[in-house]
């Protein structure tokens, strides 16, 4: 049995008395065991970070950027092997795993330009003989708690910016697919990152609580479910930490009567069912405007869904693979049963799907509901599986209201040829990320990622300039060099002004 340990101080470390199985979702069998750490494990990682971080912070930004350049080269050279590892533990197909890695590398590319974004601010002559300047300094030691669905992208989102700005970073990945995150430690070391600056501590809630409580960890970045995001945000800020906590989603795709329905169906097939729907930026809800639009869309969706191919992760012809665990498969199927009980029309039922030769795998077939209504639990809650729900809207205002009133506000898309409708929708919808004829509106790496409402706790987004702000603190200096040096007389008893 393969064992997965922690990565601390530039080497593999055995710590903690408990283990957790790591499965192959394609077969439903255990392929490895990951060691679950505890507070003592975390203390080892913090001690190594504490020793290494001051020198790393003092390293000039150009040299830190060179580590990012080299890391990017190493990941690109090994992307096939990394994708294989990712798929074997997560279940997503190889092409999707490569996309996972590539999206993480785009943030690393942004980090290669860190000398530019850390240049700071300067005002000459802000007052009589007075200059003001500001620069951003690392916070010290940060931690990232990442989900199972993007074991490469999200760790690189967090670690890249944190490390490039001069911090040490401790990663707590999902215990369901931990091998690739640990592998990142080896790649960072080979890229020239000093030992102690990047660590991986595997664990469950015990490790999360240890991170929240540790006094030397200054900031926590989290991506996962909304309930856990709210818990980490509340507990972390109560312990004096800076916290960004990204939660769940129920993204809507509004389809206007003038939309290109063939293009919409192609986009929906990938956005709703790709990666078995296990994406916080998936499109699990489609809102056609008007009955004619709804009927035409449904008629086009059925043959497109029938053509979807499920397969094992290594099948190059597969559109998507198994879900991550038996428990998650059961949860998705429970939501399908819930939708039926609530009165939604089950048009395509993906329950009970088996793949010949892989009967033990955790596969869920594509599922389509129609006539889903606001207030149904299956609509209000995140299913996180290959389930698409049609919620019919009578007009534009109702279509705008549905995502705006939903508890989640991560992403939304509108499909239309009408520029005024698109502009009006983007301006008024109460959601953090908007796509216009773009099904998955994840911003590029030099912009920032983050939703609204219960999709995000904290007011600073991931990566881009907001990521730089999150992992740094600003210091502002006001200086004056009077004529003749020291020796000015007189005291001021009012607040100084620059007039």
Give a three-class secondary structure readout of 356-405.
CCCCCCCCCCCEEEECCCCCCHHHHCCCCCCEEEECCECCHHHHHHHHHH
Cα(419)–Cα(426) distance, rounded to whole angstroms?
Answer: 11
List the structure tokens of 195. Answer: 């030992």
Res 1: pLDDT = 83
The domain ranges of the chain are: 2-247+455-477, 252-436
Contact of 172 with 145, CB cutoff 8 Å:
yes
* pTM, full prediction: 0.94
Res 485: pLDDT = 54
CATH number for the domain whose boundaries are 252-436: 3.40.309.10
Q: Where are the alpha helices (DSSP H) in 123-260?
A: 153-164, 179-190, 205-213, 226-238
Our answer to whether residue 280 is catalytic in this structure is yes
Cα(353)–Cα(359) distance, rounded to whole angstroms?
Answer: 9
Q: How many CA atoms lie within 13 A of 225 on its CB side?
A: 8
Res 487: pLDDT = 52
CATH number for the domain whose boundaries are 2-247+455-477: 3.40.605.10
Q: Do domains 2-247+455-477 and 252-436 have the same CATH topology?
A: no
Return per-residue pLDDT of the chain as tens, 499 residues: 899 999 999 999 999 999 999 999 999 999 999 999 999 999 999 999 999 999 999 999 999 999 999 999 999 999 999 999 999 999 999 999 999 999 999 999 999 999 999 999 999 999 988 999 999 999 999 999 999 999 999 999 999 999 999 999 999 999 999 999 999 999 999 999 999 999 999 999 999 999 999 999 999 999 999 999 999 999 999 999 999 999 999 999 999 999 999 999 999 999 999 999 999 999 999 999 999 999 999 999 999 999 999 999 999 999 999 999 999 999 999 999 999 999 999 999 999 999 999 999 999 999 999 999 999 999 999 999 999 999 999 999 999 999 999 999 999 999 999 999 999 999 999 999 999 999 999 999 989 999 999 999 998 999 999 999 999 999 999 999 887 655 555 666 777 776 6
Q: How many CA atoms lie within 13 A of 229 on its CB side?
A: 24
Measured on CA atoms in the order 116, 457, 204, 411, is the torsion positive or negative? negative
- The count of other CB atoms within 10 Å of the CB of residue 216 is 14
Res 492: pLDDT = 63
The one catalytic residue among 168, 280, 281, 323: 280
Contact of 195 with 48, CB cutoff 8 Å:
yes
């Amino acid at each position: 049995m393969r064992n997965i340990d922690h990565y601390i101080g530039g080497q593999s470390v055995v710590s903690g008395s408990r283990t957790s199985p790591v499965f192959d979702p394609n077969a439903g069998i255990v392929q490895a065991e990951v060691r679950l750490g505890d507070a003592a494990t975390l203390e080892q990682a913090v001690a190594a970070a504490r020793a290494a971080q001051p020198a790393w912070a003092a390293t000039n930004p150009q040299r830190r950027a060179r580590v990012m350049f080299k890391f990017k080269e190493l990941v690109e050279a090994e992307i096939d092997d990394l994708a294989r590892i990712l798929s074997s533990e997560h279940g997503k197909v190889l092409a999707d795993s490569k996309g996972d890695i590539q999206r993480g590398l785009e943030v690393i590319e942004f980090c290669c330009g860190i000398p530019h974004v850390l240049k700071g601010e300067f005002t000459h002559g802000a007052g009589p003989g007075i200059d003001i300047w500001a620069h951003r300094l690392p916070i010290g030691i940060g931690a990232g708690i990442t989900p199972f669905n993007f074991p490469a992208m999200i760790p690189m989102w967090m670690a890249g910016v944190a490390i490039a700005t001069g911090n040490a970073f401790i990663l707590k990945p999902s215990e369901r697919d931990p091998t690739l995150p640990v592998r990142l430690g080896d790649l960072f070391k080979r890229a020239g990152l000093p030992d102690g600056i990047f660590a991986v501590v595997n664990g469950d809630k015990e490790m999360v609580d240890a991170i929240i409580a540790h006094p030397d960890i200054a900031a926590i970045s989290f991506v996962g479910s909304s309930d856990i995001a709210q818990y980490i945000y509340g507990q972390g800020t109560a312990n004096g930490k800076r916290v960004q906590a990204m939660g769940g989603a129920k993204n809507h795709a509004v389809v206007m009567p003038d939309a290109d329905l063939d293009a919409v169906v192609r986009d929906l097939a990938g956005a709703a069912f790709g990666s078995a729907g296990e994406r916080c930026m998936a499109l699990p809800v489609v809102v056609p405007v008007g009955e004619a639009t709804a009927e035409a869309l449904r008629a086009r969706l059925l043959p497109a869904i029938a053509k979807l191919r499920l397969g094992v992760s290594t099948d190059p012809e597969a559109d998507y693979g198994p879900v991550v665990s038996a428990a998650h498969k059961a949860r998705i199927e429970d939501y399908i049963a819930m939708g039926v009980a609530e009165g939604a029309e089950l048009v395509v039922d993906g329950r009970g799907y088996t793949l010949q030769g892989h009967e033990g795998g955790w596969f869920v077939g594509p599922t389509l509901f129609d006539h889903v209504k606001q207030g149904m639990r299956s609509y209000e809650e995140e299913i996180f599986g290959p389930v698409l729900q049609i919620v019919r809207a009578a007009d534009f205002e109702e279509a705008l209201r549905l995502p705006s009133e939903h508890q989640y506000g991560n992403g939304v898309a509108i499909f239309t040829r009408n520029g005024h409708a698109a502009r009006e929708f983007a301006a008024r919808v109460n959601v953090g990320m908007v796509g216009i004829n773009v099904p998955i509106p994840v911003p590029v790496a030099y912009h920032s990622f983050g939703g609204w409402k219960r999709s995000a706790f904290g007011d600073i987004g991931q990566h881009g300039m907001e990521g730089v702000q999150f992992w740094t603190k600003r210091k502002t200096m006001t200086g004056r060099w009077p004529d003749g040096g020291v020796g000015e007389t007189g005291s001021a008893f009012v607040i100084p002004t620059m007039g």
